[in-house]
Amino acid sequence: MDFLSVPSLASLSYTEIALAVFYNHDVYKLAFEYSLPSALRPGYTKMERLTLKNILDVAVDKLSTLMLSSSCRTKVRSLIMYMIREFWIWKQNHDSILDTQLLRDIRPFWTKQLTIDRPKTARILIETKKFDAAVCFILACKYCFVEDALQLWSDMTAEQKVFVASLKRIPRYSPLETWIRDSESEAQKDVMTFSTYVELRQLPLDEHMIRAILPTKSPEVQKQILINVVANTSIYEYQPHFKLKCFQQLGKEMQEEILKIHSFIVLRCLLAWPFESNFLAVADNTRNNLSPRNFCLILETFILRLENYEWQNFELAQILKEFWDESPQNMKDYAKRDRIYELLKMVLSCDSLESLSSSSCILQEAYQKFVGIKILEAFGVYR
């Protein structure tokens, strides 16, 4: 299964138009000047939603000057919204590390899936020479550039090393930084020795560590690392495109095995742009592998994605409707007893983008109530 091949010509066209409009001076200026509040998981408050709406109004005004069909403008608007949020989160992740005003003239590297390629962008930041060596070292450690981090550490003065250690305000845990400090007196320091350090301490692997150490492992260990990523049930720990990339590096036989056991994880990944077009085909082949609970988790992910699009992505709502219509009755009956069903009913009743948009305030209110109850349930307060 090749989910990450070159997207369709239409998808590439949407991407190019969205990028051009996003980097229009007026649109980019508004997007850059707003910063999310410091938080692990940003929640979109009224102020953030208002700011997003104002930026999108300017973007739509720019789109109106192009000879595009109504459906194309609607699609591009959704992608620009997606990009703005991605950009805000990326900028927020670096607020405590560097002076973000210096980022104004540096464009992040965007993938064909319209996510920011964080490692490539970090390398651009390091190579611009705009930032102090200590800041570049922190970036190299964050993104697990082992050779770069070793060289930067070697070039840094004693004062710069003390400065890095003193930055307690930076919320970070870097195994690479710890290893470099602990092994400063050792003669051999390279990716292989770092990989051994991580393995001996059984440290959890993030996406950047996996990218760095995977080539140092035996084929059998590589396979197990990839399986662990794909089988991870969290929708936050690894990005969908990274999970799918790991999935595709496994052989056909293992892919089929994963789709039998963990089909709902793969299906949830396919609800991210631009993979949605693959969702129904995979769902048709794996529907019988879903448990009722995992069926509800997929419905929740649909709702989460729709909320991320401010209830403006009718194409995704249509995929949800078709998935629901084709699902077995016993699954539907189970879902009707789940808290997600109230929100689901409202989305399924919308038969056009206009009706979905006009219901956005009611949907958002219901969504916030749903999330609030889920949080209380997680702490055992609400039953």
Peptide linkage before 7 cis (omega within 30 of 0): no
Average pLDDT over residues 143-150: 95
Comparing C-alpha atoms, which of 302, 231, 218 is closest to residue 266? 231
Q: Which of 302, 361, 346, 312 lies closest to 46 in space, CA to CA?
A: 361
What is the token pair recorded at 31? 């997007």
263: three-class secondary structure by DSSP = helix
pLDDT at 40: 43
Q: What is the pLDDT of residue 42?
A: 44
Whether the per-residue pLDDT at 382 is higher than 60: the answer is no
> What value does the mean pLDDT of the chain take?
87
Residue 283's pLDDT is 94
Show the DSSP H helices in 272-339 as ranges.
276-286, 292-308, 314-325, 329-335
pTM of the model: 0.84
Residues 336-349 have a mean pLDDT of 94
The pLDDT score that the predictor gives to residue 67 is: 86
- Which residues is 110 bridged to in the sheet? 116
* Band (3; pLDDT cuts 50, 70, 90): low
Cα distance between residue 41 and residue 3, in whole Å: 27
pLDDT of 35: 79
pLDDT for residue 5 is more than 70: no
Please say if the pLDDT value at position 310 is more than 90: no
- Alpha-carbon dihedral sign for residues 69, 70, 73, 75: negative
CA distance 270 to 22: 24
Quick: pLDDT tens for 175-225.
999 899 888 777 788 999 999 999 999 998 999 999 999 999 999 999 999
Predicted local confidence at residue 324, as pLDDT: 97
Q: Comparing 6-15, 52-61, 276-285, which segment has the lowest mean pLDDT?
A: 6-15
pLDDT band at residue 73 using 50, 70 and 90 as cut-offs: confident
pLDDT more than 90, % of the chain: 52
Determine which of 89-93, 102-106, 359-363 has the lowest per-residue pLDDT on average: 102-106
